[in-house]
Each structure stands twice: as C-alpha cells, then as structure tokens.
Chain A
C-alpha cells in the first residue's frame, strides 16, 4: 500500500503531499536516536514533531511519518519534510489504536 492510499482509507490528516511512496512496514518510536537504525521504506509512527525527527527519518529513508494523538508539526518542520520528500500525516487518537488499525488494513 502507498502512503496516499493509506491516508485516504484510514482517514489520516495530511500535512503535506511531497510524494507517494510504498509502505514496507511500520515502526513505532518516540526516540530519535532509536530511529536511525531502522530499515528503509517503513512508516514511522511517533509523538515527536520537531525538526530533529525529520533529520533522522530522512537518514533512514522512511516512507512517511504519522503523528499520533493529534500532534501537529510546526511550519518549519513541514518545510523540511517537503524538502526531504517525506509525507507527514496525522491521527487524532493514540498510538495503540493506530497500530491496530494499520494491522487490520494489512500493513504488517
């Protein structure tokens, strides 16, 4: 499944739309230093919204980032993500609810 298809099917908020990459899996973490070791093409689910996160996500080439619990990134964060070609999405409820939803949609 691609990022834009996921956003439409799961009702995720889109903060930008720089590209539409294939989702190869999901990784959930709120620690930036933990993210730098993950594989390429994963959908990152997190509560962190700062610029530092984009710097780490770009390094490991994520397919997109979903901010849970209604978190919204600042304008400079969105601008950096646009430059990096990283899709930013939002989910109003908690991470566990989103994890269940992604699993039910076949993203594993």
Chain B
C-alpha cells in the first residue's frame, strides 16, 4: 500500500435528478456547501473520515493507481436482490467476505464505476496474506449495488473520533 493519504469521503445528492455522487476531500474540514452545476443542485449528505491509497507490487515494483476508489464498504447482506449480495452468494464465494469499492459516481448515472485493473489489484492485495482456507476477501464494484440510500453496509471510514470517551 503506497501513497496513503487521509481525508474525507463526501457524499452529495441532487434534489432534481435524485442522483448521488461522492468525492474524496483532502481539506482539513470537508466542504458542506450546496452548489449548482448545470441542471444539478448538489447538497451535502454526509462526510466520513477516510483514506485513499495506491498499491505497489513488492516483487516487480509495478504500481497500480486506484484514484477512482473513494472508500471500501463491508456488505452486511441486507438485500438478497442486490448485486453485491448475489456476488457473495455463489458456491465459490459462499465463505467470502464481500467488500464494495465505492466510486465517485454513486448513482452510476453515466455508467462509469471503478476500473477492473484497480479491482484486480485490491483483490490480490487483500487476499495475499490470507492463510485461513475458510476465509476469502471479495471486492466488487459499487455498480452492483442498486440503491445507496437503503444500503446497510459499513463504510471503512473513521467515525466517532470526535466522540467523548
């Protein structure tokens, strides 16, 4: 894991088109302002402390940049109709823990999502040290998830750091 940097995953929604978008902010305080962009009126929906990173092969030194992955989310299997649930419900993946690579185009209105190269690198990285045959990590693109608003998955972002202990 290289080029690790801290910041915030910011999620916004447009009340005209109902789409959701996300971006990674490295500002000390994540932006919360509403703004207009063409026909869209984006409003801040939430921010989570998070980190972005790239991956590098320790053997050959090849680096895989994954700028299109905003954060990872653990699937809690809340919806059997969801594509993420189905991906983890195949015979070969029944013992897998499914994580979702979240891209910036949360509603996927334009069809874009995280790259296959990035997904392959993430799967290789997080499975390389798993020696327990009963465990497998499966990372899938967020385009498999039909709705973001009802998803009960756990975003791998820091929360509660400002809570009083």
Residues of A within 8 A of B74 (CB): 55, 58-59
Contact of B154 among A34, A47, A55, A61 (CB under 8 A): A55
B contacts, CB < 8 Å to A: 1, 4, 6, 49-51, 53, 72-74, 97, 99, 126, 129-132, 134-135, 137, 154-161, 165
- Tell me if B50 and A33 are in contact (CB < 8 A): yes
Could you list some 12 contacts between A and B, CB below 8 A?
A32-B49, A32-B159, A33-B6, A33-B50, A34-B51, A39-B129, A55-B154, A55-B156, A59-B99, A60-B129, A71-B165, A85-B134
**Interface assignment of A36: CB less than 8 Å from any CB of chain B:** yes
A-B contact sample (19 more), CB < 8 A, given A32-B159, A37-B53, A61-B130:
A30-B161, A31-B161, A33-B157, A33-B158, A36-B1, A36-B51, A36-B156, A37-B1, A37-B4, A40-B130, A41-B129, A51-B154, A52-B158, A55-B73, A55-B99, A55-B154, A56-B156, A58-B74, A61-B135
- Tell me if B97 and A69 are in contact (CB < 8 A): no
Interface members, chain A 15-53 (any B CB < 8 Å) = 30-34, 36-37, 39-41, 47-48, 50-52
Residues of B within 8 A of A6 (CB): none
A contacts, CB < 8 Å to B: 30-34, 36-37, 39-41, 47-48, 50-52, 54-56, 58-61, 69, 71, 84-85
Q: Chain B: which residue is nearest A51 at the CB level?
A: B154
Residues of A within 8 A of B154 (CB): 51-52, 54-55
- Tell me if A40 and B165 are in contact (CB < 8 A): no
CB distance from B51 to the nearest CB of A (A): 4
Known A-B contacts A33-B6, A33-B51, A37-B53; the reply to A59 vs B72 at CB < 8 A is: yes
- Tell me if A32 and B130 are in contact (CB < 8 A): no
Residues of A within 8 A of B161 (CB): 30-31
Q: Chain A: which residue is nearest B50 at the CB level?
A: A33
- Tell me if A48 and B156 are in contact (CB < 8 A): no
Residues of A within 8 A of B50 (CB): 33
